[in-house]
């Protein structure tokens, strides 16, 4: 199948996936988390998790898990968090995976949480390192909004820029960036042990992802996608279809010629 025809099929499929999300809003959860910058880790270990936010798409109610909340519950002061990080991180993840266990049928909408560096696998692995037993979210229950938007609108729908496509979409759609840190800002906050700041950023980004999803579903999201991108059509696709289905194209041409001949004959 030609490249443009493949894109047409992919866009039809992604629209169907968005429609399924729209039909089951009450079973959709938006998840986001913050962690130690994996670019600064030199010993090969997975990044430490600092906070996780899970937002119910239908109601907007948000459940969060964070290092500073675990510290507060244990009476650990801010200055002692780094010395007891593993203990507090495990407490946070115990709470998170206990929550996750109650949501086996829900779909988790996320932004680029795809691999061991940053994603569900990274959180699971981190919990295993801390001697915990994680709950696994099935792959068919994960909906990567970042990837689906590319499939829907094409790679040029939003500039990546220095802060990523999410921040570009926030600017284009006039969504306030208050509390939402970019990658560099999160790395600096972690180094400075500003865990509350990281938690606020996580909460804000979960809200932003839900906002972008809602605008995509109602068709109001603003992007840099062209008319052809938006409508899933490209003239090249016609040529590819004719090339791949030349028999049907030939029959169409024959039928057209017969029609013209009969029409011309009636005029004689």
CA atoms lying within 13 Å on the CB side of residue 1: 8
Q: Are 132 and 96 in contact (CB under 8 A)?
A: no
Percentage of the chain modeled with pLDDT above 70: 82
Sequence spans of domains, the chain: 3-231, 235-267
Looking at residue 184, what is its pLDDT? 84
Q: How confident is the model at residue 227 (pLDDT cuts 50, 70, 90)?
A: confident
**How many angstroms separate the CA atoms of 182 and 196, rounded?**
15
Q: In the beta sheet, which residues pair with residue 32?
A: 53
CATH code for 3-231?
3.30.420.10
Q: How confident is the model at residue 247 (pLDDT cuts 50, 70, 90)?
A: low
For 28-37, 61-70, 143-152, 234-243, which range has the lowest pLDDT when averaged over its residues? 234-243
Alpha helices in 24-66 (DSSP H): none
CA atoms lying within 13 Å on the CB side of residue 260: 6
Return the sign of the alpha-carbon dihedral for residues 22, 30, 124, 170: positive
Burial of 243 (0-12, 13-18, 19+ CB in 10 A): exposed
- DSSP label of 114: B
In this predicted structure, the answer to whether residue 38 has a pLDDT above a threshold of 90 is no
């Amino acid at each position: 199948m030609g490249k443009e025809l493949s894109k047409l099929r992919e866009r039809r499929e992604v629209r169907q996936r968005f429609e399924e999300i729209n039909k089951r809003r009450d079973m959709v959860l938006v998840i986001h988390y913050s962690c130690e910058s994996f670019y600064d880790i030199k010993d090969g270990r997975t990044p430490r998790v600092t906070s996780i936010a899970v937002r119910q798409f239908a109601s907007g109610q948000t459940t969060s898990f964070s290092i500073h909340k675990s510290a507060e519950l244990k009476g650990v002061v801010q200055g002692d968090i780094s010395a007891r990080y593993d203990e507090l991180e495990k407490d946070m993840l115990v709470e998170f995976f206990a929550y996750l266990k109650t949501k086996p049928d829900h779909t988790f909408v996320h932004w680029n949480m795809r691999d061991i560096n940053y994603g569900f696998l990274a959180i699971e692995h981190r919990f295993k390192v801390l001697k915990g037993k994680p709950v696994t979210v099935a792959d068919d229950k994960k909906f990567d909004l970042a990837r689906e938007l590319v499939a829907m609108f094409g790679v040029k729908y939003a500039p990546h820029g220095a802060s990523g496509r999410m921040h570009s979409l926030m600017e284009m759609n006039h969504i306030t960036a208050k509390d939402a840190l970019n990658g560099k800002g999160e790395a600096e906050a972690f180094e400075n042990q500003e865990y509350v700041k990281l938690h606020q950023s996580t909460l804000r980004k979960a809200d932003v992802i839900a906002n972008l999803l809602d605008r995509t579903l109602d068709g109001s999201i603003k992007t840099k996608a062209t008319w052809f991108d938006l409508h899933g059509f490209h003239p090249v696709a016609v040529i590819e279809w004719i090339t791949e289905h030349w028999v049907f194209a030939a029959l169409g041409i024959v039928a057209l010629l017969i029609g013209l001949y009969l029409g011309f004959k009636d005029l004689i």
